[in-house]
Structure 1
Amino acid sequence: MIYDTIVIGGGPAGMTAAIKAKETCEKAKILIIDRNKKLGKKLYATGNGRCNIANSALDLSSYHSCNEFFPYQIINTESYKKLKEFFMDLGVAIYDDGGYLYPQSMQASTVVWALSDRIKHLGIEIHTTEEAESVEPTDEMYGIVTDCAEYTARTVVAAPGSAAAPKLGGTESVYRLLENTDIRTIAPHPALCRLKTREDTSDLAGVRARCRVSLLCDGDVYDSESGEIQFADGWLSGIAVFNLSMQCIDLLNDGRTPVVEVTLVPEMDEDDVLGYLRKFRDSNPDRRLEAMSNGLVNEKIARFIINRLELKSVTAARLTDEELDRMVFEIKHMRFEISGHGGYDESQAACGGIDTRQLRPDSMEADGYKGLYVAGEYADVTGKCGGYNIMWAVMTGMRAGEAAGKRLTHDKNK
């Protein structure tokens, strides 16, 4: 059977693309193919089930891509406005929590149901539990082979997701989907995941702390994040660490040795911390070092610092000025050498994918392949935690779907 548009992938990018293609070309025959049992499986789990759909705060560190400025040709004030209008039209009221956009219900199911209901209303065909295996250009059309059947389509939107979160449908096989074309793929790797330390952090297991986390390598600071860090036995995690993991893994893959620096008590500078410790020493000379440090940080962190610095003093009074300086430095510059990272099974996203240098930002169409579009996480663009990836998926889905619909309308009017 010949379809006007086949959308590969039933996530936010694919569902949005199908809707926009049908709304742009009402007569189009559209099919969505998805490997999961139902559309939007991963979307249900995002934001701990609350579905952070967008974020108003943007800077050059919001997205990671080999084509650094490409994401910002798509995500801008105008597309942000269109995204909000799109969800409102679907019946999803938006709640703005300091720039973090959520459905008013704070339930991911609200978003999935709204997209699914619009797809059904528009009469878009859905094939679930079916995995697309290849796309091949054939005489101004495209042949799509799945594990169940073969199809032909005038236009294709490739939005199959990535290898991340295999329990939610992620698979490395998506990177073979366009092997029959000349479209390049940037080597993928896990992203938004925990980082493995060379140091023994077993004594810190279970500790959470507010801090500033920086990524260092060879004396350079690559990026910094403020938020909560979580310690485990041999691992660092938490949103701040997840956001740094993208660049950190790139450094590891280049054979370099990245370092994560944890700045504890971020609201105090080094002079403030030193003043506090000195005053404690003078006012509480007989108290133990654990009590001295515990006034600022978690008791497990306090003990970890004392052991790491090999402080021999038992009480505050015996602590020398040089030892005080070392304590201050450790509190403000606690460093961990990174030796590895979590796998796809525990990552929230993946870096890499279709090289965006071969995509047109106005339509997400692949250069040299008319009617073939790429959307969502399948492209080499990965956002930080906080709604950036769903926002990217929806905005690219809108562009790809509208472009496909316009091409179909033009062809039908010839």
Structure 2
Amino acid sequence: MPAILGKKIIVVGGGAAGLMAALAAANNGAQVKVLERMNRVGKKILATGNGRCNFTNISSNIERYYHGKNPRFVYGALNKFNVQQTMEYFEYLGIAAKVEEGGKVYPMSDQSSSVLDVLRYQLEKLHVTTVTDAEVENIHVSEGEFIVDTKEKGRFISQRLILATGGKSYPNLGSNGSGYQLAKNLGHRLVEPFPALVQVKLAEKFYKQIKGIKFVGDLEVVVNEKTIIKATGEILFTEYGISGPPVLAVSRKVNEMLRSNKKVYLKPVILKQFTPGQLEQMLLYRFQTQPQKTLAFSFVGLINKQLAPVLLKEAGIKDINKPAGDVTASEIKQIVSILQDWRLKATGTKGWNSAQVTAGGVDVQDVNPKTMESKLVPGLFFAGELLDIDGDCGGFNLQWAWSSGYVAGENAAVL
């Protein structure tokens, strides 16, 4: 279908999804304005990947978005604008890419600003107007047009509207959840948002003693004595609980279970490379070889020495400074259990200021997955994190932003 030249489109939100939507619409002949409530577009892009911007992941597939009420919704956009097309598009814009561990794709420059710079250059090239400090207060539809009122920049009118305001994560970077009310005012339903890819708070009182301690191991989420999700990597104890990539990976499920009033336990497996029997024999050898050492000191060289006193007390051993040679067989089994089957009670997660992604959002059953157009309001399109779609950690959420933004922008221009 040929593009309708001159169609006026407003994109609300100047993040990754909004900028891609604007570019796709402008590339199909539309006149595009981006309304961004912050003083510049793309602030959240600059913060991704620890300032390096892992802008996609070569392993993007539906399994990486298997969250929310209807994860199959991602098929439409991911098939229309997939990872390969995304990488080719950014290469065209000037981003030389490199693939790192876990399939993460970064700009060769290792600067997230590179991604934003080329996007802004292309916006200017395609004559897209960006209006910053433009916080949208109200949107209504009249005679087939969208009337958008802002706090300080007045009123804007368009034939098509793309909502790409993001979720609630990192509100200081632009996404404060304001898009949810705009969507509700236009008749859309919400799946209640909650933080995802976020640190987990734990109930025990000893975390200040071990904050800063890291180890590489497995982390399992246990509900009703059943492991429901597992991740591996570097785990970090903090004064409020636990952090690190495996924690972020399982945090959505933790929050989901807690919100369902389930008792949730995190199970860090500290020495995962041994079977319980092997670990028992190794500890016995250590204790018998150097029986005069204190029990706590006998762990030096095996685990972080600051962690040993806490683990021993958790194992139910009252005198952690008794001679290692005096440890009983049953006490060794208790220590092995803590090293490989430690149960830590989750009480919640950190809030929106710490969350990388928002779970929940605009219910996708009211959105066409092939076009991103509302089924309730003709001419209204959605893109990005505002929708009830969220992916795993590692570039998958930015890929969703690019894919959904591209599909929304293209269809807003040509339908």
Matches of 2:376 and 2:159, distance apart in 1: 15
The question of 1:393 aligning with 2:401 is answered: yes
Q: Shift in Å at residue 73 of structure 1?
A: 4.4
Q: Does residue 1:69 correspond to 2:72, yes or no?
A: yes
Give the RMSD, CA atoms, in angstroms.
Answer: 1.8
Q: Structure 1 residue 178: deviation in Å? A: 1.7
Residue 340 of structure 1 is matched in structure 2 by 348
- In structure 2, C-alpha distance between the alignment counterparts of 1:3 and 1:369, rounded to whole Å: 17
Contact 2:390-2:397 within 8 A present in 1 as well:
yes
**Deviation string, structure 1 residues 232-265 (Cα, Å, up to 9, x no partner):** 1232111211121111111111222211110112
Task: Tell me the secondary structure at the aligned position of residue 184 of structure 2.
Answer: coil
**In the alignment, does 2:243 pair up with 1:237?**
yes
**Is the alpha carbon distance of 1:393 and 1:78 closer, same or farther for their aligned partners in structure 2, counting shifts above 3 Å?**
closer
Task: For 1:242, give the aligned amino acid.
Answer: L
Secondary structure at 2:263's aligned position in 1? coil
- Work out whether 1:182 is the aligned partner of 2:184: no
1:162/1:263 CA distance change after superposition, 3 Å:
same
Deviation at 1:138, TM superposition (A): 2.4
Q: 220, 225, 234: which one pairs with 2:226?
A: 220
Q: CA–CA distance in 2 between the matches of 1:277 and 1:318?
A: 13
2:161 pairs, out of 149, 156, 161, with 156
Residue 300 of structure 1 aligns to a residue whose secondary structure is coil
Give, as a single letter, the amino acid of the residue that structure 1 aligns with 2:175: G
In 2, Cα distance between equivalents of 1:251 and 1:14:
32
Q: Deviations over 1:332-384 (max 9, x none)?
A: 11211011221112222211111112222211111132221111111111222
SS of residue in 1 equivalent to 2:256: helix
Q: Which runs of 5+ in 2 are unaligned?
A: 1-5
Q: How many residues align?
A: 404
Select the residue among 12, 33, 36 that pairs with 2:35: 33
The range that moved more, 196-205 or 140-149, is 140-149
TM-score of the two chains, using structure 1 as the length reference: 0.93
Partner residue, 2:368 = 360
SS at match of 2:400: helix
1:63, distance to aligned residue in structure 2 (A): 4.5
Deviation at 1:70, TM superposition (A): 2.2
* Contact 1:134–1:179 (CA under 8 A) maintained in structure 2: no
Aligned to 1:256: 262
Secondary structure of 2:106's aligned partner = strand
Answering whether residue 174 of structure 2 is matched by residue 169 of structure 1, we say: yes
Contact 2:220–2:267 (CA under 8 A) maintained in structure 1? yes
Distance 2:81 2:91 in 1: 16
Provide the residue aligned with 1:83 in structure 2. 86
CA shift, 1:72, in A, is 4.2
Give the aligned partner of residue 119 of structure 2.
115
Distance 1:117 1:318 in 2: 71
| Separation (CA, whole Å) in 1 of partners of 2:184 and 2:97 | 39
Give yes or no for contact 2:165–2:177 (8 Å, CA) kept in 1: no
- Distance change in 2, residues 1:135/1:268 (3 Å): farther
Superposed displacement of residue 3, structure 1 = 6.4
Task: Point out the more displaced range, 68-77 or 215-224.
Answer: 68-77
Is 2:29 the partner of 1:8?
no
Tell whether the 8 Å contact from 2:33 to 2:131 is kept in structure 1 after alignment: yes
- Structure-2 residue corresponding to 1:52: 54
Q: For residue 291 of structure 1, report the CA deviation from its aligned partner.
A: 3.0
Partner in structure 1 of residue 3 of structure 2 = none
Q: Does 1:319 align with 2:319?
A: no
Q: What's 1:102 paired with?
A: 106
Q: How far is 1:61 from its partner?
A: 5.0
Distance 2:35 2:81 in 1: 30
More displaced, 301-310 or 83-92? Answer: 301-310
Q: What residue is the counterpart of 1:410 in the other structure? A: none
Deviations 1:66-99 (A, max 9, x none): 2133234433596111111111111111111131
Q: Contact between 1:3 and 1:152, CA under 8 Å: does it hold in 2?
A: no
1:352 partner SS = strand
The answer for the alignment partner of 1:138 in structure 2 is 142
Aligned-partner Cα distance in 2 for 1:84–1:363: 21
Is the 2:80–2:403 Cα contact (8 Å) retained in structure 1? no
Change (3 A) 1:61 1:282: farther
Task: Give ranges in structure 1 of 5+ residues lacking alignment.
Answer: 408-414
CA distance, structure 1, for counterparts of residue 294 and residue 149 of structure 2? 70
Aligned to 2:95: 92
